């Protein structure tokens, strides 16, 4: 074992001057453990990944079974493999009829990159519309349609012909025209601090895209796979996207993403040019096995049935006059305070006392809670007691 801070800080590329820096020996269920046995309650699921907890037995079994057969054997789209076949079939049976064809990739940002390319290729248009305060990934295309200018400025020039409108404001939808290839939107804005649109707005957005021949891409990389109490968050709004992107919780702890569309649309990648989108490791059989086991666990164990009730329990136990607002859908929370300094102090106090909450990229006055769906009432209550202590002692 090697948990050297020196190696971590100097030999592994850093993303900020202040990494969270908890050494992790093992993880199980909703808990993380350091080498000395200290236990941390993971209230953020590794940033919306471990939706059924860490190392769920069914996921571990599926991974081991696939490893005993084969690992990578060929680039995406060439060989017929059981694991991605089974996953694609299961996934599409749970989606509306137009979302019937899956392109597997390796991550969320790759899912969005593929979706943007597909929309431009299918429509032969170039304009892309996104939303202020959105986050879609950090590769060049995904960054181009993300709304946090502070994160983008150092990397310009980015993709041209990108327009931004305000999330949830119907008047801005007139910006979508016959020139627009696609609108890309987080069904629930995550890193803006859990922003939830109205059903009326979502229906108006869907209608505007339909009327103008614009492809509607819904990014459910953070909010999908049961996080909101529905398997897919768009189900709350009685609309269906033209392209859906998923990742994070999709893989059950292994790296996999996907963009999903109608077969007729996806076919444009096969010609003019052929191999219009390619990936070496997309649809990795081990990752697909993990994803399928995760999906089947959510369905078979009826985990969605308890999400709303557990979300209400957090609200019940997190009562404090210092909390300015709680925004929640399912088990996806933003907890607002009056300053970023207060949020930072609460997050660090909670960490020291064994509870992991975390910041948002684009809303420093909130911290996030997004626990595994398997969390119990007693675990919710114990976690909230530590968060309340953090509020009182910072």
CA angle 391, 393, 394 (to 5 degrees): 70
**What is the spatial distance between Cα 96 and Cα 224, in angstroms, rounded to a whole number?**
15
* Measured distance between the N- and C-terminal CA atoms of the chain, rounded to whole angstroms: 35
For residues 134 and 186, is the Cβ–Cβ distance under 8 A?
Answer: yes
Considering the domain delimited by 58-300, tell me its CATH architecture. Answer: 3-Layer(aba) Sandwich (3.40)
Q: Where are the domains of the chain?
A: 5-55+306-392, 58-300
Question: What is the rounded distance in angstroms from the CA atom of residue 32 to the CA atom of residue 26?
Answer: 6
Which residues, at least 6 apart from 290, have a Cβ–Cβ distance to it below 8 Å?
59, 62, 63, 251, 252, 253, 254, 256
Nearest to 179 by CA among 209, 146, 207: 209
Predicted confidence at residue 1, as pLDDT, reads 86
Two structure tokens written together for 365? 């006055």
Q: What is the rounded CA–CA span in Å between residue 245 and residue 332?
A: 18
Are both 5-55+306-392 and 58-300 of the same fold? no
How far apart are the C-alpha atoms of 7 and 382, rounded to whole Å?
Answer: 34
Average pLDDT of each block of 10 consecutive residues along the chain (394 residues)? 93 93 97 97 97 98 98 98 98 98 98 98 98 97 95 95 98 98 98 97 98 98 98 98 98 98 98 96 98 98 98 97 98 97 97 96 93 98 98 95
Q: How many CA atoms lie within 13 A of 198 on its CB side?
A: 6
Continuous H helices in 25-168:
45-48, 57-67, 82-93, 108-123, 140-144, 149-152
Domain 5-55+306-392 has CATH 3.90.1150.10: yes
Please give the pLDDT value at position 361. 83
């Amino acid at each position: 074992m090697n948990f050297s801070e020196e190696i971590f800080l100097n030999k592994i590329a850093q993303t900020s001057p202040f990494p969270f820096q908890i050494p992790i020996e093992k993880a199980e269920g909703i808990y993380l453990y350091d080498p000395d046995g200290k236990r941390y309650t993971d209230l953020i699921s590794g940033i919306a990944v471990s939706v059924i907890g860490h190392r769920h037995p069914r996921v571990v079994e599926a991974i081991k079974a696939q490893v005993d057969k084969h690992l990578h054997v060929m680039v995406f789209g060439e060989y017929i493999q059981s694991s991605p076949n089974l996953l694609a079939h299961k996934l599409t049976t749970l989606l509306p009829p137009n979302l019937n064809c899956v392109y597997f990739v390796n991550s969320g940002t790759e899912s969005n990159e593929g979706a943007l390319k597909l929309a431009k290729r299918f429509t032969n248009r170039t304009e892309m519309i996104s939303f202020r305060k959105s986050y879609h990934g950090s590769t060049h295309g995904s960054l181009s349609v993300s709304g946090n200018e502070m994160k983008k400025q150092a990397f310009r020039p980015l993709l041209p012909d990108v327009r931004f409108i305000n999330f949830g404001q119907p008047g801005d939808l007139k910006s979508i025209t016959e020139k627009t290839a696609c609108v890309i939107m987080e069904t629930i804005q995550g890193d803006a601090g859990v922003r939830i649109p109205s059903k009326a707005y979502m229906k108006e957005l869907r209608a505007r895209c339909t009327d103008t021949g614009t492809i509607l891409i819904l990014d459910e990389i953070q909010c999908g796979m049961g996080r909101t109490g529905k398997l897919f968050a768009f189900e709350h709004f009685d609309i269906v996207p033209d392209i859906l992107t998923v990742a994070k919780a999709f893989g059950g702890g292994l790296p996999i993403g996907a963009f999903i569309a109608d077969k007729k649309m996806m076919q444009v990648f096969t010609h003019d040019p052929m191999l219009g989108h390619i990936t070496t490791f997309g649809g990795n059989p081990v990752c697909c096995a993990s994803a399928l086991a995760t999906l089947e666990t959510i369905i078979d164990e009826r985990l969605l049935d308890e999400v709303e009730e557990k979300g209400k329990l957090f609200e019940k136990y997190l009562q404090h006059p210092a909390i300015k607002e709680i925004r929640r859908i399912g088990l996806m929370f933003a907890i607002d305070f009056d300053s970023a300094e207060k949020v930072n102090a609460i997050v660090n106090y909670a960490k020291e006392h064994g509870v992991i909450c975390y910041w948002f990229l684009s809303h420093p006055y909130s911290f996030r809670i997004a626990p595994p769906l398997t969390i119990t009432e007693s675990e919710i209550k114990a976690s909230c007691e530590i968060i309340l202590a953090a509020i009182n002692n910072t």
